[in-house]
């Protein structure tokens, strides 16, 4: 994977140019490389050996405590010591002012080695970053800083048993505490309710856990405001702390009520948490103590700070799992002997079995995995690079990057989740029967990866976001920007005889997307347009990745002697010949506003 | 599922007409229904509750014995008592002369309830049927009859650690035993070697286990014949028996050397078996005692008797798992409330959350599952019906059925394996986070189903069989026959205004297949043609299932008031709008003889 990352970062995304910006002035090619080297070593030496252990020895709830294997502690500690929790921040909080794209590249190596180990850094970093952006000075100093140092870990508490995709229906209630207006950590409330699917919701990895909790502020009459506009955000520490960040010894009333027993991703305990059910009485009052973040009713807005970041990270994790399977099956295909080579005349060649990588169908499966997982990696890092543009480029460039990133976020989340899962299935297939056993790693990658189409907004939710909002907002500004980027690549490809035809194909694909959008919204009917949002999402994803592959093919052309570059060109060809043509099948029902799915009646599903 | 089976058997395949044939004269609509009722009850009452148990409490090897949970014993016994092991046979061996299509319909219900429980009937039935077809009178009387009664279970020992897809490279050797020529069970040999991936290879479910083992007869100089033509077939009982079928107390030298720890299908122990390594010395001689079946060198031919049957059963099992997920997610979607209904103007309708089946994207996922799993079920039963034609129709009709079945067998195996796995993934997706936990059954279906693209000939092997052999043999006779069947459906559809356009589409799809075959073989170059065999297999499968759906749509037209028929018409529409268009993407590289995969160089896979 490192070879792919180096190509993407150095040759394609030109990350060294970031070092000319003041924010990254202390960095150089060498510091980036050193950080990636360190992370790669920790990932391979510490994370990789723990990956199967945490799958087998999954979290248990014993006497109200979450019991994890030693491997969970060792990897969490190793991640903290890598310094990556604060990577993007200032030295004053232990950070190294690292570009986001480098941080993501490093995280890809960790995720490839063990996606469910390391203590759930996504949650802690996301929590801290949210507080750094929207918290008060005190909230930042005490809560965020102690998370960035790894002293405490964080969670994000959104879903409830009755409300996941539909967050407007959450019922966790927050009651303003009398006399809580002048708490140094912000307006103090008492929270009551249940939160479901909370990753790392309880554990003993750190001395404290900082929950960020969505809840609704109850009015005098005991009513909760309706919908997502009624949602506020609260800091709820497991143990209360004083202004110096010292634990006061008071246990807050947030309790793990159960663990979810998952198909994969088992390294990370996934919990049901009860807030304020009275298990612990804090300072003589009922409810879990929580401090308001920002303003009442704006909780979901702040949470999107985290969710947008998380969606890129989820996609990156899916890409990394895809890559893990690709590497494993490549290794296997190079060693495993079976069958004879296919010859033009159909006769078996030679008397000995060949390595299965000699079989065209095995090469197809490896090439598909490469096209999926390197394409997904490129997509994730491209998006991460846009984050750096937003943060450190000129306002104009930054605004454009933001506009493009908003359009691409549903793709960055959904495309790797879907196609790197398929890559993992192909990795199993290359292994044959061996791939179906737990003696080989690929079945775990496949199980782990299945989560990614679900958490942080399901496929269906991403599709509604894309076709319902992103392609239409500001009169289609983001689509026009995207089209201009695609055009730039197509024009560059026109100068390369080997790539020209792919450029033409890509331009046609882009037009197909446009027609589908127009067709879907022809009558301005949301139901009609959005009934087929998911096939649109799939097609859009394939066009985005085809664009990236052509762009990668252009760069690869600069290195005609390099095996990596030749392989990338071949993966690009694979994508244009075998993958991109699928968009016609997806876009047909979108463009024609097919009512087949939405007209299907409940009672006709006669099973 | 029963409602789908009844529609397929009664209204589509007209199984009652079979009762006019002498072989099935004792049967009637009522006897078929009674048998299906009984099997459905056993499946639901005994198999279904055991399904998760055998997944959790997987087989263990303790002191050389395979330990299984009670549920494995209970379900195996229940299956034996159902009488289904001998279903297709004469009353004299405990059978009921049941049509194969009814037997398969019953097995679909068992597989839906618990695909890995019931003692691995596929193996025992396949073993016994092979012996009934190719064994001597004594082999049938003692070995096959005791398997059909369920007194002993059977296995099929094909693969070895170094040879799975490439059976020509097996090295298990058989040495003719001096004085073994006149054994009542056939020429006696001693076998030495290792067999891998042997389902039900050892257990204590029955007092004896009858292995059917592929091996090569060693010549005087100790050499083994090369390739598949050197393969012979042997009966190797775990315990030796006398001519009355009584155990002699002599333990044969076949020993379980290990269990494979699988991703799914855990109810069925999967073993590595060692033959003749000397653990047990039998009658003072080294080697496992084995009795030759049929003639030396014809073992693989006999084995195909089993494999062709097994491939239909594997497809049926995949379809049943698809159906299991469909039913579970349908149930969930009808109960789970989340979000608001989509409305034409984009505003949230009403104040309460709706059942998620109201969301068009959820209906899409349910409709896709229905189209996949009922399509796969139709395909499996259609093939089973062809087996009945082969066995009981006139010689001409039978020969045609055989020709068509040979063509369809790779599809019957591969299509359900691929698309009902996708159905199971959609079943997880409908469940959201719940689907990713072991508190719901769908993740297990998905894990179980992943095996089906691997065992009994991988996807790639099926593809080579289809494009390399089946579509070309006898000058394309099977393809012409297939085309004529498709044409008959298209012509019938032309009379129905609602179906006419689908007929036209189907005819176009059939022509695309023809062009792809011509393109692939234009130069008669096997390497060129077969490099893209798998996408051809996928496209062929979609065309076959589109044909079946149109045929089902025709029948559904006879019941305009029936919810089931309306649902089937809608699933047909879904298949034509959302699925069939995919074939263009698969066939492009086939028709153009793309060399992209086979030209990809080993060293370009730089990971």
- Rounded to 5 degrees, φ, ψ at B6 are -60, -45
User: Are the beta carbons of A437 and B262 separated by less than 8 Å?
Assistant: yes
User: Are the beta carbons of B447 and A226 separated by less than 8 Å?
Assistant: no
Reported residue count of chain B is: 607
| B436, B592, B597: residue with CB nearest A450 | B436
Provide the pLDDT for residue B350.
Answer: 73
Say which residue the tokens 């000939």 belong to: B457
| A334, A345, A531: residue with CB nearest B526 | A345
Q: Are residues B257 and B324 in the same domain?
A: no
User: Are the beta carbons of B567 and A534 separated by less than 8 Å?
Assistant: no
Whole-number Cα distances in Å, A147 to A205, B239, B604: 12, 65, 42
* CATH number, position A154: 2.40.110.20
Interface test with B, best of A436, A526, A532 (most B CBs within 10 A): A436
Q: Are residues A99 and A222 in the same domain?
A: no
Compute the average pLDDT of residues B309-323.
Answer: 96
Nearest residue in chain A measured CA to CA from B562: A604
Interface test with A, best of B364, B430, B508, B591 (most A CBs within 10 A): B364
| A345, A363, A450: residue with CB nearest B600 | A363
- Distance, in angstroms, between B184 CA and closest chain A CA? 37
> Which chain B residues are within 8 Å of A343, Cβ to Cβ?
526-527
CB B526 within 8 Å of CB A346? yes
Nearest residue in chain B measured CA to CA from A445: B263
Q: Are residues B484 and B402 in the same domain?
A: no
**How many residue pairs from chains A and B have C-beta atoms closer than 8 A?**
307
> Which chain A residues are within 8 Å of B527, Cβ to Cβ?
342-344, 360
Question: Which of A118, A148, A165 is at the close of a domain?
Answer: A118
Provide the pLDDT for residue B97.
Answer: 97
User: Are the beta carbons of A330 and B605 separated by less than 8 Å?
Assistant: yes
Distant-in-sequence contacts of B487-496, Cβ < 8 A, 24+ apart: B489/B547, B489/B550, B489/B551, B489/B554, B490/B550, B492/B551, B492/B554, B493/B550, B493/B553, B493/B554, B496/B554, B496/B557
Reported residue count of chain A is: 607
Instruction: Give me the half-sphere count of Cα atoms (radius 13 Å) on the Cβ side of residue B375.
Output: 35
> Which chain A residues are within 8 Å of B603, Cβ to Cβ?
563
Instruction: Dig out the tokens for B188 from the structure.
Output: 């006696």
Provide the pLDDT for residue B349.
Answer: 65
Residue A341 covered by a domain = yes
Instruction: Dig out the tokens for B124 from the structure.
Output: 């025992």
User: Are the beta carbons of A165 and B599 separated by less than 8 Å?
Assistant: no
- Distance, in angstroms, between B495 CA and closest chain A CA? 22
Q: Reduced to 3 states, what is the DSSP secondary structure of residue A390?
A: helix
CB contact burial B463-477 (16+ within 10 A = b; e otherwise) = bbbbbbebbbeeeee
Compute the average pLDDT of residues B306-327.
Answer: 96
Residue A605 covered by a domain = no
CB B13 within 8 Å of CB B381? yes
User: Are the beta carbons of A343 and B606 separated by less than 8 Å?
Assistant: no
Residue B140 covered by a domain = no
The ipTM, to two decimals, is 0.98
* CATH number, position A476: 1.20.140.10
Q: Are residues A406 and A524 in the same domain?
A: yes
Which residues, in sequence order, are CB contacts of A437 under 8 Å at separation 6+? A443, B260, B261, B262, B263
> Which chain B residues are within 8 Å of A575, Cβ to Cβ?
none
- Distance, in angstroms, between A284 CA and closest chain B CA? 36
Question: Which of A80, A95, A118 is at the close of a domain?
Answer: A118
User: Are the beta carbons of A526 and B455 separated by less than 8 Å?
Assistant: no
Interface test with B, best of A225, A342, A417 (most B CBs within 10 A): A342
CA distance B360 to B390: 44
User: Are the beta carbons of A436 and B450 separated by less than 8 Å?
Assistant: yes
**Vertex B94, ends B90 and B99: CA angle to 5°?**
50
Q: Is the pLDDT of residue B530 over 70?
A: yes
Residue A607 covered by a domain = no
Interface test with B, best of A224, A357, A596, A599 (most B CBs within 10 A): A596
Interface test with A, best of B262, B323, B342 (most A CBs within 10 A): B342
Label residue B324 left, alpha or beta by phi (over 0 means left) and psi (-120 to 50 means alpha).
alpha
Instruction: Dig out the tokens for A90 from the structure.
Output: 């200032």
Q: Are residues B383 and B477 in the same domain?
A: no
**Vertex B206, ends B129 and B164: CA angle to 5°?**
55
DSSP run (H or E) holding A67: strand A65-67
User: Are the beta carbons of A437 and B589 separated by less than 8 Å?
Assistant: no
Q: Are residues B195 and B270 in the same domain?
A: yes
Q: Which of the residues of A are catalytic?
A: 456
CB B517 within 8 Å of CB B351? no
| A339, A346, A598: residue with CB nearest B360 | A598
Q: What is the pLDDT of residues B321-373, one digit of tens each?
A: 999 999 999 999 999 999 999 889 887 767 789 999 999 999 999 999 999 99
Q: What is the pLDDT of residues B379-437, one digit of tens each?
A: 999 999 999 999 999 999 999 999 999 999 999 999 999 999 999 999 999 999 999 99
Provide the pLDDT for residue A349.
Answer: 65
| B166, B367, B564: residue with CB nearest A339 | B166
Which regions of chain A are under pLDDT 70? 349
Q: Are residues B276 and B316 in the same domain?
A: no
Nearest residue in chain A measured CA to CA from B421: A425
CA distance B370 to B204: 39
User: Are the beta carbons of A526 and B346 separated by less than 8 Å?
Assistant: yes
| A164, A528, A535: residue with CB nearest B432 | A164
Q: Are residues B452 and B331 in the same domain?
A: yes
User: Are the beta carbons of A596 and B578 separated by less than 8 Å?
Assistant: yes
- Distance, in angstroms, between A196 CA and closest chain B CA? 10
Q: Are residues A512 and A399 in the same domain?
A: yes
> Which chain B residues are within 8 Å of A159, Cβ to Cβ?
433
| B567, B582, B599: residue with CB nearest A605 | B567
- Rounded to 5 degrees, φ, ψ at B176 are -60, 130
* CATH number, position A43: 1.10.540
- Distance, in angstroms, between B363 CA and closest chain A CA? 6
Q: Are residues A33 and A124 in the same domain?
A: no
Q: Reduced to 3 states, what is the DSSP secondary structure of residue B283?
A: coil
Q: What is the pLDDT of residues A157-193, one digit of tens each?
A: 999 999 988 899 999 999 999 999 999 999 999 999 9
User: Are the beta carbons of A439 and B579 separated by less than 8 Å?
Assistant: no
> Which chain B residues are within 8 Å of A360, Cβ to Cβ?
527, 530-532, 597-598
Question: Which of A279, A297, A315 is at the close of a domain?
Answer: A297
CA distance A405 to A385: 10
Q: Are residues A227 and A376 in the same domain?
A: no
Provide the pLDDT for residue B352.
Answer: 87
Q: Is the pLDDT of residue B606 over 90?
A: no
Residue B139 covered by a domain = no
| B428, B432, B585: residue with CB nearest A165 | B432
Q: What is the pLDDT of residues B155-179, one digit of tens each?
A: 999 999 999 888 999 999 999 999 9
Residue A89 covered by a domain = yes
> Which chain B residues are within 8 Å of A169, Cβ to Cβ?
338, 353
- Rounded to 5 degrees, φ, ψ at A214 are -80, 130
Nearest residue in chain B measured CA to CA from A4: B607
If we measure between CA atoms, which residue out of A43, A35, A153 comes closest to residue A99? Answer: A35
- Distance, in angstroms, between B418 CA and closest chain A CA? 11
Compute the average pLDDT of residues B444-461.
Answer: 97
User: Are the beta carbons of A454 and B432 separated by less than 8 Å?
Assistant: yes
Provide the domain limits for residue B436: 298-457
- Rounded to 5 degrees, φ, ψ at B17 are -60, -25
| A163, A327, A359: residue with CB nearest B607 | A327
Residue B135 covered by a domain = no
DSSP run (H or E) holding A537: helix A533-556
> Which chain A residues are within 8 Å of B343, Cβ to Cβ?
526-527
Q: Into how many domains does chain B fold? A: 4
Residue B141 covered by a domain = no
pTM beyond 0.90: the answer is yes
User: Are the beta carbons of B458 and A159 separated by less than 8 Å?
Assistant: no
Q: Which of B58, B418, B456, B591 is catalytic?
A: B456
User: Are the beta carbons of A359 and B460 separated by less than 8 Å?
Assistant: yes
Nearest residue in chain B measured CA to CA from A464: B361
Q: Are residues A44 and A169 in the same domain?
A: no
If we measure between CA atoms, which residue out of A477, A471, A562 comes closest to residue A517? Answer: A471
Which residues, in sequence order, are CB contacts of B3 under 8 Å at separation 6+? A606, A607, B564
DSSP run (H or E) holding A157: strand A153-157
């Amino acid at each position: 994977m490192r070879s792919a990352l180096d190509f993407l970062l150095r040759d394609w995304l030109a990350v060294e140019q970031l070092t000319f910006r003041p924010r990254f002035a202390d960095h150089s090619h060498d510091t980036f490389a050193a950080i990636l080297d360190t992370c790669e070593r920790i990932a391979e030496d510490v994370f990789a050996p723990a990956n199967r252990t945490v799958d087998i020895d999954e979290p248990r709830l014993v006497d109200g405590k979450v019991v994890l294997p030693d491997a969970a502690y060792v990897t969490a500690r190793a991640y903290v010591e890598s310094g990556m929790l604060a990577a993007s921040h200032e030295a004053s909080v232990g950070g190294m002012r690292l570009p986001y794209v480098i941080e993501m590249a490093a995280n890809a190596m960790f995720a490839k080695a063990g996606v469910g180990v390391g203590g759930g850094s996504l949650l802690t970093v996301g929590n801290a970053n949210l507080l750094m952006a929207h918290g008060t000075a005190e909230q930042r100093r005490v809560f965020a800083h102690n998370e960035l140092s790894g002293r405490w870990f964080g969670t994000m508490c959104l879903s409830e048993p009755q409300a996941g995709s539909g967050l407007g229906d959450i019922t966790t209630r927050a009651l303003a505490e009398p006399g809580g207006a002048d708490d140094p950590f912000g307006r103090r409330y008492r929270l009551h309710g249940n939160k479901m699917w909370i990753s790392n919701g309880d554990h003993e990895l750190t001395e404290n856990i900082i929950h960020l909790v969505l809840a609704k502020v109850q009015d005098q009459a005991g009513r909760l405001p309706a919908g997502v506009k009624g949602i506020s955000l609260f800091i709820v520490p497991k143990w209360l702390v004083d202004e110096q960040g010292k634990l006061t010894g008071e246990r807050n009333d947030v309790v793990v009520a159960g663990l979810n027993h998952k198909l994969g991703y088992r390294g990370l305990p996934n919990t049901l948490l009860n807030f304020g059910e009275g298990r612990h009485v804090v300072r003589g009052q009922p409810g879990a103590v929580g401090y308001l973040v920002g303003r009442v009713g704006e909780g979901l807005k702040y949470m999107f700070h985290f969710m947008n970041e998380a969606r890129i990270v989820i996609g990156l994790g899916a890409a990394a799992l895809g890559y893990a399977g690709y590497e494993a099956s490549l290794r296997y295909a190079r060693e495993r002997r079976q069958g004879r080579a296919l010859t033009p005349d159909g006769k078996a060649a030679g008397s000995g079995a060949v390595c299965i990588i000699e079989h065209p169908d095995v090469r197809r499966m490896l090439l598909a995995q490469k096209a999926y997982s390197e394409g997904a990696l490129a997509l994730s890092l491209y998006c991460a690079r846009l984050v750096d543009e937003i943060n450190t480029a000129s306002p104009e460039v930054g605004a454009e990057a933001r506009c493009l990133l908003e359009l691409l976020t549903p793709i960055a989340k959904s495309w790797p989740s879907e196609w790197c899962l398929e890559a993992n299935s192909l990795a199993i297939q290359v292994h044959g029967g061996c791939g179906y056993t737990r003696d080989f790693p690929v079945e775990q990658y496949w199980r782990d990866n299945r989560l990614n189409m679900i958490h942080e907004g399901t496929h269906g939710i991403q599709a509604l976001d894309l076709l319902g909002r992103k392609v239409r907002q500001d009169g289609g500004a983001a689509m026009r920007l995207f089209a201009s980027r695609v055009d730039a690549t197509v024009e560059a490809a026109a100068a390369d005889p080997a790539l020209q035809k792919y450029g033409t194909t890509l331009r046609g694909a882009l037009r197909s997307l446009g027609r589908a959008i127009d067709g879907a919204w022809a009558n301005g009917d949301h139901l009609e347009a959005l009934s087929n949002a998911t096939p649109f999402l799939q097609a859009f994803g394939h066009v985005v990745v085809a664009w990236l592959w052509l762009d990668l093919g252009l760069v690869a052309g600069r290195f005609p002697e390099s095996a990596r570059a030749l392989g990338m060109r071949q993966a690009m060809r694979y994508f244009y010949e075998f993958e991109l043509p699928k968009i016609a099948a997806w876009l047909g029902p979108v463009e024609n506003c097919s009512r087949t799915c939405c007209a299907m009646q409940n009672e006709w599903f006669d099973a």
